[in-house]
Amino acid sequence: MARTIVIIGGSAAGMGAAGAAQQVDPDVHVIIYTELADVGYSPCGIPYVHGKEIDSFDRLILQGKEFYADRGFDIHYETVVSGIDTKRHTIDVPGEGSVGYDQLVIATGFKYEQPKVPGSDLGNLYYVRDIRAAQRWDKILDSVHHAVIADAQPIGVEMATALAHRGIETHLVDPHPWPMAEITDPDIMEPVEESWRELGVHLHLNTRIDAFLGTERVQAVRTSNGDIAVDMVVVGTKKLPNNDLAAAAGVKCGSTGGLIVDEHMRTSVPDVFAAGDCVEVPQGTTGVPVQGLSGSHAYAQGKIAGSGAAGTLRSYSPVYVPWGLVAGKWMVGGVSFGETLAGALGIPYVKGVAEGISRARYYPGFKKIRVKLLAEPGTLKLIGAQLVGGEGIKERCDFLAMAARKGLTLHDIAWMENVYSPAMGALAEPMALAAQNGLTAVQS
Amino acid sequence: MARTIVIIGGSAAGMGAAGAAQQVDPDVHVIIYTELADVGYSPCGIPYVHGKEIDSFDRLILQGKEFYADRGFDIHYETVVSGIDTKRHTIDVPGEGSVGYDQLVIATGFKYEQPKVPGSDLGNLYYVRDIRAAQRWDKILDSVHHAVIADAQPIGVEMATALAHRGIETHLVDPHPWPMAEITDPDIMEPVEESWRELGVHLHLNTRIDAFLGTERVQAVRTSNGDIAVDMVVVGTKKLPNNDLAAAAGVKCGSTGGLIVDEHMRTSVPDVFAAGDCVEVPQGTTGVPVQGLSGSHAYAQGKIAGSGAAGTLRSYSPVYVPWGLVAGKWMVGGVSFGETLAGALGIPYVKGVAEGISRARYYPGFKKIRVKLLAEPGTLKLIGAQLVGGEGIKERCDFLAMAARKGLTLHDIAWMENVYSPAMGALAEPMALAAQNGLTAVQS
């Protein structure tokens, strides 16, 4: 008899699992539960529709519901799973009762950290998440003149840029001395801050939010530096693993709060896999568990989990976490550790920094690229990177993540070959310049 | 007493050698001979000025003559070296007599293959090379209505795009079935050909040039498919090592015609180094000597040669040759071998091909990227790549050159991590898709 795989969650990890399971075993019965009214769209695009860079939410829908129905996926929309009984191999679904599984994939994603201040229950606090809510909020945004973004975490950073593009007076409030301070270094964010100021974004750094003020709807935000009158607030706080259901069922969580999985994306409980923002996985250099990676990580993990659930165990390797996003007029990105994070974790490093350019200096439209490389003292193996620039950041982060994965050193990067053609690339590759500067610093 | 290093050639290799020599030994006496009236400009930018994408030749000048004088370089402009006596450690310079050296660096660059057809001595045959000639030709271009580009080698490809941008009726004539046929595959060049047609370029492929017709000035080009009336011809033939001087002095040349150098860029003759387009160096996978690489290769080789000439031997590694250029509205590029070249050399391969995108499919301005990866059968180690796309080609070629250098396999690339952020990169990295397709092809 065909096995039944139940997947809780219909985003990148869940849909990746569904596809991989069916690829491994075309006869498998895949049931997907999602709290939302849709699957197959990209939530990552929502800020760019709000910012009017993308002209319609329809563009974010990559596949219609028929596509999945045609593939034979049994998707239960707007359905909340209320419990998991791992011994009986069942889940509880209000209205459906007890539903049995042979293998379960937990892909419940993230939830935003709740602001623990008075007024957090007021209306007009926007948590960017699903496309239908985004469509409602987008209409509201038409009449918003003043907004606060609560916290300069990545989603807050994207939304600050988006609301500014839209012409809304935007206040970005964050308790840290620079944006995304847990994953970035201040020298990398400095051009972004300048670019936001040019866009009219008001930066309130080193500033705590003490309360949301108002009756029913938020009317002002009380901060440690005064009150800001607002029509709405975007809550751009940290993403936490959404694990209440799994934890209640006895699935073990790790130090980050993410579900613990082995290299095959198996949890602590037999026949239960997990993938995406709800799990933690080891960082490659240190083995330290990390959590809340990108949609491409979630999708890749989902494929491993789905494949395993369908009977073919595959392995997911430790991660080196290339990341990036557009902030103001710049692209920022990195790999594993910047100086701040390495310092916080007590990881020793040497560094090389350079300002390079993306195309020949005389070619119109060339962009500046700042590269910082962190390497292990002694071996000079790459352990992290931070970049900011006008183009070519994603591709360089991918390069450097592979370099870290493969144990490449500053020597390897310093003397790398690079394409030189005026309209495509400069004589000197910025990553190579940074590595050369790192070697000089070590030798002197 | 300070050593005297004589450098013949003032382009990337020569100037790289001069800088590195002085860095190794600040007291070294550096004398540079160049046939040209300038150093410190980028010849690679010339086609883009002709194409009006760069607004002035002045932009190509990176450093003025004073810069080099201030650094203490003794540069002899517009001076032809007529002989080398390697036993006496002297060179012959008309008007200067015999000039002694302790170490010599030969950086004489390339010359265009001469068309061996009647009329090759007519006027209005333009060989793109130095900036002063380019300035003169640029004025002539103002009154040119019809031009033939003789051969779709890289310089011919750049000039075809440039003249079309400038509004000149441009005919690109090449004996091969597709442009740059020695280094590219037809599927990679197909979008370029289409783009040229949109730009109004007339492609005459599989077409031989039999003669340049005219009296004094060329008035028509006789091809195997008929005559083309022209106001001028751009000779975009193959670049050959410019080695007559060195060969006459007994410096050994290899199978490509390039000077043979060891890993320290030492020629067959004591105290004589060489670098740039006049040498050949081993390709990394095969050891086959290759020649005529990019300006960044020439510069890197020059630094090794200059450093060695000044007393510090450094090593130059075998090359994997990332290359790229803009052609029509596309960027094309590659690493080491495409299918055509691998086939010609008898190198066995398996391949993976994919069409991907540079940013999220719903993000405005995303570009298509086609990636073809060639791997060694069995080990699946990357041995070559060909790419065409709208952006991100240089960076991916750099990645793949490093991947080939480090022995990475299709498995490594298939499961690489990648940045996903809608405005910067797509969920699926095109290189990973190509590698995954390669693995599927091998397994089936």
Q: Determine the pLDDT at residue B147.
A: 98
Q: Which residues of chain B have pLDDT under 70?
A: none
Inform me whether the C-beta atom of residue A415 falls under 8 Å from chain B C-beta atoms: yes
Are β-strands A259-260 and A279-282 bridged in parallel, bridged antiparallel, or unpaired? parallel
Judgement on whether residues B245 and B106 belong to the same structural domain of the protein: yes
Triad A46, A49, A53: Cα angle to 5° = 130
**Distance separating alpha carbons of residues A235 and A49, to the nearest angstrom:** 17
Measured between CA atoms, how close is A67 to chain B, in angstroms? 18
Q: What residues in B contact A392, CB-CB < 8 Å?
A: 392, 394-395
> Chain B, 60-119: which have a CB under 8 Å from a chain A CB?
60, 62
Residue A11's domain spans which residues? 4-37+77-111+240-309
Biggest CA–CA distance in chain B, Å, is 71
Record: contact B417-A296, CB cut-off 8 A: yes
Q: Would A430 be classed as within a structural domain?
A: yes
Q: What is the DSSP letter of A44?
A: G
Residue corresponding to tokens 């094309």: B332
Tokens linked to A46: 């929502």
Triad B284, B285, B291: Cα angle to 5° = 50
Record: contact B364-A425, CB cut-off 8 A: no
Measured between CA atoms, how close is B439 to chain A, in angstroms? 15
Pick among A283, A394, A413 to test the B interface (most B CBs inside 10 A) = A394
Inform me whether the C-beta atom of residue B405 falls under 8 Å from chain A C-beta atoms: yes
Judgement on whether residues B221 and B248 belong to the same structural domain of the protein: no
Residue corresponding to tokens 């870290």: A404
Three-state DSSP state, B443: helix
**Distance separating alpha carbons of residues B54 and B41, to the nearest angstrom:** 14
Record: contact A401-B412, CB cut-off 8 A: no
Phi and psi torsions of A236, nearest 5°: -110, 45
Contact A391, A430 (CB under 8 A): no
Judgement on whether residues A340 and A417 belong to the same structural domain of the protein: yes
Q: Which of A44, A253, A278, A397 is catalytic?
A: A44
In this structure, what is the dihedral angle of CA atoms B99, B100, B106, B108, given to the nearest 10 degrees?
A: 0
Number of C-beta neighbours around residue B129 at 10 A: 17
Q: Determine the pLDDT at residue B64.
A: 87
Measured between CA atoms, how close is B401 to chain A, in angstroms? 7
Tokens linked to A248: 């209640």
B297, B326, B399: residue with CB nearest A421:
B326
C-alpha to C-alpha distances, B57 to B4, B51, B60, B162, nearest whole angstrom: 34, 12, 5, 14
A45, A393, A424: residue with CB nearest B422:
A45
Q: Determine the pLDDT at residue B173.
A: 98
Q: Would B198 be classed as within a structural domain?
A: yes
**Distance separating alpha carbons of residues B409 and B383, to the nearest angstrom:** 9
Inform me whether the C-beta atom of residue A424 falls under 8 Å from chain B C-beta atoms: yes
**Distance separating alpha carbons of residues B280 and B226, to the nearest angstrom:** 38
Q: Would B259 be classed as within a structural domain?
A: yes
Closest CA to B332 of B179, B166, B207, B167: B179
**Distance separating alpha carbons of residues B264 and B281, to the nearest angstrom:** 11
Inform me whether the C-beta atom of residue A224 falls under 8 Å from chain B C-beta atoms: no
Q: Determine the pLDDT at residue A64.
A: 87
Q: Determine the pLDDT at residue B427.
A: 94
Record: contact B421-A54, CB cut-off 8 A: no
Alpha-helical regions (H) of B237-336:
244-248, 295-309
Q: Would A42 be classed as within a structural domain?
A: no
Record: contact A395-B397, CB cut-off 8 A: no
Record: contact A59-B362, CB cut-off 8 A: yes
In chain B, the number of structural domains is 3
> Chain A, 172-201: which have a CB under 8 Å from a chain B CB?
none
Judgement on whether residues A377 and A411 belong to the same structural domain of the protein: yes
Are β-strands A382-389 and A368-375 bridged in parallel, bridged antiparallel, or unpaired? antiparallel
Record: contact B416-A428, CB cut-off 8 A: no
Measured between CA atoms, how close is A440 to chain B, in angstroms? 13
Judgement on whether residues A331 and A381 belong to the same structural domain of the protein: yes
Judgement on whether residues A333 and A437 belong to the same structural domain of the protein: yes
Judgement on whether residues B360 and B423 belong to the same structural domain of the protein: yes
Record: contact A319-B397, CB cut-off 8 A: no
Q: Would B246 be classed as within a structural domain?
A: yes
Three-state DSSP state, A72: coil
Q: Would B56 be classed as within a structural domain?
A: no
pLDDT digits (tens, 9 = 90+) for A220-273: 999 999 999 999 999 999 999 999 999 999 999 999 999 999 999 999 999 999
Sign of CA dihedral B347, B389, B154, B261: negative
Record: contact B333-A419, CB cut-off 8 A: yes
A53, A296, A361: residue with CB nearest B418:
A296
> Chain A, 347-386: which have a CB under 8 Å from a chain B CB?
360-364
Contact B101, B89 (CB under 8 A): yes
DSSP string, B111-179: EEPPP-STTTTSBSEE----HHHHHHHHHHHTT--EEEEE--SHHHHHHHHHHHHTT-EEEEE-SSSST
**Distance separating alpha carbons of residues A44 and A38, to the nearest angstrom:** 14
Q: Would B68 be classed as within a structural domain?
A: no
- The residues, any chain, with a CB within 8 Å of residue A433's CB and separated by 6 or more, are A354, A356, A371
Pick among B394, B408, B429 to test the A interface (most A CBs inside 10 A) = B394
Record: contact B295-A62, CB cut-off 8 A: no
Three-state DSSP state, B186: helix
Judgement on whether residues B284 and B378 belong to the same structural domain of the protein: no
- pLDDT by residue for chain A (444 residues), tens only, comes to 789 999 999 999 999 999 999 999 999 999 999 999 999 889 999 999 999 999 999 999 988 899 999 999 999 999 999 999 999 999 999 999 999 999 999 999 999 999 999 999 998 999 999 999 999 999 999 999 999 999 999 999 999 999 999 999 999 999 999 999 999 999 999 999 999 999 999 999 999 999 999 999 999 999 999 999 999 999 999 999 999 999 999 999 999 999 999 999 999 999 999 999 999 999 999 999 999 999 999 999 999 999 999 999 999 999 999 999 999 999 999 999 999 999 999 999 999 999 999 999 999 999 999 999 999 999 999 999 999 999 999 999 999 999 999 999 999 999 999 999 999 999 999 999 999 999 999 987
Are β-strands B169-173 and B202-204 bridged in parallel, bridged antiparallel, or unpaired? parallel
Residue type, B327: A
Three-state DSSP state, B30: strand
Q: ipTM value, please give it.
A: 0.96
Closest CA to A383 of A405, A399, A412: A405
**Distance separating alpha carbons of residues B367 and A65, to the nearest angstrom:** 27
Number of C-beta neighbours around residue A37 at 10 A: 13
Q: Determine the pLDDT at residue A62.
A: 87
Pick among A296, A321, A323 to test the B interface (most B CBs inside 10 A) = A296
Number of C-beta neighbours around residue B239 at 10 A: 17
**Distance separating alpha carbons of residues B147 and B163, to the nearest angstrom:** 8
Judgement on whether residues B294 and B214 belong to the same structural domain of the protein: no
Q: Given A221, A237, A253, which residue is the final one in a domain?
A: A237
Q: Given A220, A237, A254, which residue is the final one in a domain?
A: A237
Triad B50, B56, B59: Cα angle to 5° = 115
Tokens linked to A120: 């957090």
Q: What residues in B contact A317, CB-CB < 8 Å?
A: 415
Tokens linked to A33: 């539960």
Tokens linked to A281: 């996985």
Contact A307, A25 (CB under 8 A): no
> What CATH number is given to the structural domain containing A411?
3.50.50.60
Phi and psi torsions of A386, nearest 5°: -140, 135
Judgement on whether residues A200 and A288 belong to the same structural domain of the protein: no
Judgement on whether residues A154 and A199 belong to the same structural domain of the protein: yes
Q: Given A211, A237, A263, which residue is the final one in a domain?
A: A237
Judgement on whether residues B213 and B289 belong to the same structural domain of the protein: no
Q: What residues in A contact B321, CB-CB < 8 Å?
A: 417
Q: Would B70 be classed as within a structural domain?
A: no
Number of C-beta neighbours around residue B426 at 10 A: 23
Record: contact B399-A394, CB cut-off 8 A: no
Q: Determine the pLDDT at residue B136.
A: 96
Pick among B161, B395, B396, B416 to test the A interface (most A CBs inside 10 A) = B395
Question: Could you tell me where the beta strands, DSSP code E, fall in A128-208?
Answer: 146-150, 169-173, 202-204
> Chain A, 295-324: which have a CB under 8 Å from a chain B CB?
295-297, 299-300, 317, 319-324
A-B CB pairs within 8 A amount to 203
Record: contact B421-A392, CB cut-off 8 A: no
Residue type, A319: V
Closest CA to A51 of A329, A362, A323: A329
- The CB-based long-range contact list for A260-268 (8 Å cut-off, 24+ gap) reads A260/A289, A263/A315, A263/A316, A263/A317, A264/A304, A264/A308, A264/A313, A264/A314, A264/A315, A264/A316, A265/A301, A265/A304, A265/A305, A265/A308, A265/A316, A266/A308, A267/A106
Three-state DSSP state, A193: helix
Active site residues of B: 44
